[in-house]
């Protein structure tokens, strides 16, 4: 089975970069990325792409209009495609059964119904979104119940492992591509067809094939393991602060054991991002539905601990500032959930900012990539506050770190952007209120140097 045309439903953080790299590496394949949102597609077709991702602009510029297209013509794209990626969002349900934990599969269902309505020839449908185990069965049921005569479907699971901020490198040099399919001759043919696409640039040994359910569960498992490591090191950061141990030294010593490994042991103000919490909650809900309450409780602790860590850090800020931040100017440096992305979904900076606003602080926020409107949105929408106007009045967004810190009582560093390490802290000290405080939530600054300048410094996992 040869793949000549690919359609991707969902032009978000996954669909956009993934399909851009496929187009770049597979000049023989026409790739069309579709979205229901006209605005998002217009942005993909403009000079300012809807997401910031190092290296993405170059890839898109090279392929767009040649074999890479961004389109709202979903019907035509589905009809002409041999293979369709479903890369739509799968947020946590906010209402009804499983509210707050289960994945909301309405967009997956919507995509499946679109395909069923529009397809007039055989299709390989690939679940790229992160879904609960057995979601492929839902897609299959919808497709097979609505199929037109002569149209056959194969459903594959091909979860995405890219991390934001490093998406292009992650896609180009994938440690593993995972493909799950049905153990039937037709299912295996479809698996091989998708393997062929990736083999354009991924060594065959890095392409793993499994059954569909293992593939779906492996994605949830990978995110749960990663998040668990962060909660584990963050739990030790609290012990370090109470004892005089240094969490960076502990991480270095523990990570030297090759069975544990050194990566993903950076203590922080807590993990953020659109997926870790959502996917663990998804696993928790799945475990509960499978009548496995002990499994659910085990993973719940990873999420609960993350909330504790975010609150612990904010409490420390408030306590250090004489237990009141009311009317104090506080500079928030960094608002995205990690460096090298403009994405703010579940950013720990939101939790920190919200608590400080609730305590009456005046926030002066600077982030190199997050749009002003996005910061306002995150701190004023109805789920965050009943008084959006009051919050808005107490927030000012700055276009440089220096202007954000001028006249501030404290700096709270929430994102580990490299440029924060290069700031002239002597100059900053001179323009701040005294005593001047810095709370380094990412352990990236030179604390000794800051103390020598005169700052009061607090960080994660180390008593200063």
Among 43, 67, 77, 89, binds ligand NAD (CB under 6 A): 89
17 versus 441: smaller Cβ distance to ligand NAD: 17
Binding footprint of ligand UGA on the chain (CB under 6 A): 130, 160-164, 223, 226, 230, 264-266, 268, 271-273, 275-276, 337-338
How far CA 415 is from CA of 268, 338, 345, 363, 403, in Å, comes to 9, 6, 13, 16, 17
Dist. CA 8–CA 4, nearest whole Å = 14
93 binds ligand NAD (CB under 6 A): no
Dist. CA 154–CA 122, nearest whole Å = 8
List, as residue ranges, the binding site for NAD(+): 10-15, 35, 40, 88-92, 129-130, 164, 275-278, 345
User: If DSSP codes are grouped into helix, strand and coil, which group holds residue 423?
Assistant: coil
The residue nearest ligand NAD at its CB is 12
Residue carrying the six token digits 């006209």: 38
The helix or strand, by DSSP H or E, that contains position 377, with its residue range, turns out to be: helix 372-380
74 versus 330: smaller Cβ distance to ligand NAD: 74
Q: Following DSSP, what letter does each residue of 247-302 receive, concatenated?
A: HHHHHHHHHTSTTT-STT----S---SSSHHHHHHHHHHHHHHTT-HHHHHHHHHH
Contacted entry of ligand NAD, ligand UGA, none for residue 302, CB cut-off 5 to 8 Å set by kind: none
Site for ligand NAD in 148-167 (CB under 6 A): 160, 162, 164
> Does the CA dihedral 377-102-276-36 come out positive or negative?
negative
DSSP code of residue 92: B
Contacted entry of ligand UGA, ligand NAD, none for residue 337, CB cut-off 5 to 8 Å set by kind: ligand UGA
Closest to 431 (Cα-Cα) out of 453, 458, 459: 453
340 binds ligand NAD (CB under 6 A): no
How far CA 192 is from CA of 130, 205, 280, 320, in Å, comes to 21, 14, 30, 59
14 binds ligand NAD (CB under 6 A): yes
List, as residue ranges, the binding site: 10-15, 35, 40, 88-92, 129-130, 164, 275-278, 345
Tokens of 141: 């049921």
Positions marked catalytic:
275
130 binds ligand NAD (CB under 6 A): yes
Dist. CA 94–CA 107, nearest whole Å = 14
Contacted entry of ligand NAD, ligand UGA, none for residue 37, CB cut-off 5 to 8 Å set by kind: ligand NAD
241 versus 343: smaller Cβ distance to ligand NAD: 343
> Closest separation between CB of residue 350 and ligand UGA, Å?
11
Residue 246: phi, psi to the nearest 5?
-115, 120
> Closest separation between CB of residue 418 and ligand NAD, Å?
20
Site for ligand NAD in 367-386 (CB under 6 A): none
Residue 351: phi, psi to the nearest 5?
-65, -45
Site for ligand NAD in 15-34 (CB under 6 A): 15, 34
Which listed range, 104-112, 315-323, 382-390, 416-424, lies at the site for ligand NAD (CB under 6 A)?
104-112
178 versus 391: smaller Cβ distance to ligand UGA: 178
9 binds ligand NAD (CB under 6 A): yes
Contacted entry of ligand UGA, ligand NAD, none for residue 272, CB cut-off 5 to 8 Å set by kind: ligand UGA
Contacted entry of ligand NAD, ligand UGA, none for residue 122, CB cut-off 5 to 8 Å set by kind: none
Contacts 24+ apart (CB under 8 A), 264-267: 264/226, 264/229, 264/230, 265/229, 265/233, 266/230, 266/233, 266/442, 266/443, 267/233, 267/234, 267/236, 267/237, 267/443, 267/460, 267/461
457 alpha-carbon distance from chain centroid? 29
3 versus 460: smaller Cβ distance to ligand UGA: 460
> Closest separation between CB of residue 308 and ligand UGA, Å?
14
454 binds ligand NAD (CB under 6 A): no
Tokens of 122: 């055989």
In contact, 112 and 85? CB cutoff 8 Å: no
> Closest separation between CB of residue 107 and ligand NAD, Å?
4
Contacted entry of ligand NAD, ligand UGA, none for residue 226, CB cut-off 5 to 8 Å set by kind: ligand UGA
Dist. CA 366–CA 364, nearest whole Å = 7
Q: Report how many residues bind ligand NAD under the rule CB under 6 A.
A: 28
Contacted entry of ligand NAD, ligand UGA, none for residue 264, CB cut-off 5 to 8 Å set by kind: ligand UGA
35 binds ligand NAD (CB under 6 A): yes
- Applying CB under 6 A, which residues contact ligand NAD? 9-15, 34-37, 40, 74, 87-90, 107, 110-111, 114, 129-130, 160, 162, 164, 274-275
């Amino acid at each position: 089975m040869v793949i000549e045309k690919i359609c991707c439903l969902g032009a978000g953080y996954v669909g956009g970069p993934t399909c851009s790299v496929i187009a770049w590496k597979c000049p023989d394949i026409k790739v069309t990325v579709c979205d229901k949102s006209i605005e998002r597609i217009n942005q993909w077709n403009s000079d300012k792409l809807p997401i910031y991702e190092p290296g993405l602009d170059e890839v898109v510029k090279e392929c767009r209009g040649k074999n890479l297209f961004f389109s709202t013509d979903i019907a035509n794209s589905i009809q002409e495609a041999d293979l369709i990626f479903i890369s739509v969002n799968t947020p946590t349900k906010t209402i009804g059964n499983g509210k707050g934990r289960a994945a909301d599969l309405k967009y997956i269902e919507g995509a499946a119904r679109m395909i069923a309505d529009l397809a007039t020839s055989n299709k390989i449908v690939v679940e790229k979104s992160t879904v609960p185990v057995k979601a492929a069965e839902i897609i299959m049921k919808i497709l097979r119940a609505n199929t037109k005569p002569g149209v056959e479907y194969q459903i594959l699971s091909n979860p995405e492992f890219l991390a934001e901020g490093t998406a292009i490198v992650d896609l180009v040099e994938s440690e593993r591509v995972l493909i799950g399919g049905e153990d039937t001759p037709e299912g295996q043919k479809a698996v091989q067809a998708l393997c062929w696409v990736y083999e354009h640039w991924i060594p065959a040994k890095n392409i793993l094939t499994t059954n569909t359910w293992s593939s779906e569960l492996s994605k949830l498992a990978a995110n749960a393991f990663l998040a668990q490591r962060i909660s584990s090191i963050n739990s030790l950061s609290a012990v370090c602060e109470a004892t005089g141990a240094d969490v960076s030294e502990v991480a270095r010593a523990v990570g030297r054991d090759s069975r544990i490994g050194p990566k993903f042991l950076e203590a922080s103000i807590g993990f953020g991002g659109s997926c870790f919490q959502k996917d663990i909650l998804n696993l928790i809900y799945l475990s509960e539905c499978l009548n496995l309450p002990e499994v659910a409780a085990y993973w719940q602790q990873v999420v609960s601990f993350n909330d504790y860590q975010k609150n612990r850090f904010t409490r420390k800020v408030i306590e250090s500032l004489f237990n009141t931040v009311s009317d104090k100017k506080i500079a928030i440096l960094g608002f995205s959930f990690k460096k090298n992305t403009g994405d703010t979904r579940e950013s720990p900076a939101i939790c920190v900012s919200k608590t400080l606003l609730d305590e009456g602080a005046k926030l002066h926020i600077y982030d190199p990539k997050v749009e002003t409107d996005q910061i306002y949105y995150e701190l004023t929408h109805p789920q965050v506050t009943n008084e959006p106007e009051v919050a808005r009045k107490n927030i000012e967004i700055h276009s440089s770190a220096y202007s954000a810190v001028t006249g501030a009582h404290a700096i709270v560093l929430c994102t580990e952007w490299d440029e924060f390490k290069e700031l002239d802290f002597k100059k900053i000290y001179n323009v701040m209120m005294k005593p001047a405080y810095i709370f380094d939530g990412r352990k990236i600054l030179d604390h000794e140097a800051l103390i020598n300048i005169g700052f009061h410094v607090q960080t994660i996992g180390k008593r200063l």
